């Protein structure tokens, strides 16, 4: 149980284009989802927290207009990187948490490369 998937697992896009990453909870209802980014050989940095049906809460320093997060259903959250640039290249990981639970379940990650 408690499986989280991400799609795509890797994506290459050209500078200036937008990319959408999906995060799904497969066997539970994810009332809260978290988006992290991880640079090579670094730790995970929380980008934003999203609750189903509400606007996402972004961490300090994260551009909300650049990283659009939508959590429209209890099993799906999306992260859209708009007008991507090479510095946005990173490993993006989502996690999901059920209502009343403290434990987060992590997706397998999405490798984004912007050329």
Look at the block and give the residue holding tokens 């497969």.
Answer: 26
CB of 29 to another protein, least distance (A): 15
Do 22 and 37 form a contact (C-beta atoms < 8 A)? Answer: no
Binding mask 73-112 for another protein (x = CB under 8 A): ------------------x-x-x-x----xxx-xxxx-x-
Q: Is 37 in the site for another protein (CB under 8 A)?
A: no
Spatial separation of the C-alpha atoms in residues 47 and 36, rounded to whole Å: 5
Measured at the CA of 27, the angle between CA 81 and CA 31, to 5 degrees, comes to: 55
Kindly identify the residues of this chain, within the stretch 40-69, that bind another protein according to CB under 8 A.
42-44, 46, 49
Spatial separation of the C-alpha atoms in residues 87 and 65, rounded to whole Å: 16
Residues that bind another protein (CB under 8 A): 4, 6, 32, 34, 42-44, 46, 49, 91, 93, 95, 97, 102-104, 106-109, 111
């Amino acid at each position: 149980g408690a499986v989280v998937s991400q799609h795509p697992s890797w994506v290459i896009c050209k500078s200036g284009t937008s990319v959408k990453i999906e995060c799904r909870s497969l066997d539970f209802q994810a009332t809260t989802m978290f988006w992290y980014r991880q640079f090579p050989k670094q730790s995970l940095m929380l980008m934003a927290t999203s609750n189903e049906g509400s606007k996402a809460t972004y961490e300090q320093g994260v551009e909300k207009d650049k990283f659009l997060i939508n959590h429209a259903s209890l099993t799906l959250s999306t992260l859209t990187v708009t007008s991507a640039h090479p510095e946005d290249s990173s490993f993006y990981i989502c996690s999901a948490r059920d209502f009343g639970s403290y434990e987060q379940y992590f997706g397998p990650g999405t490798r984004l490369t912007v050329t």
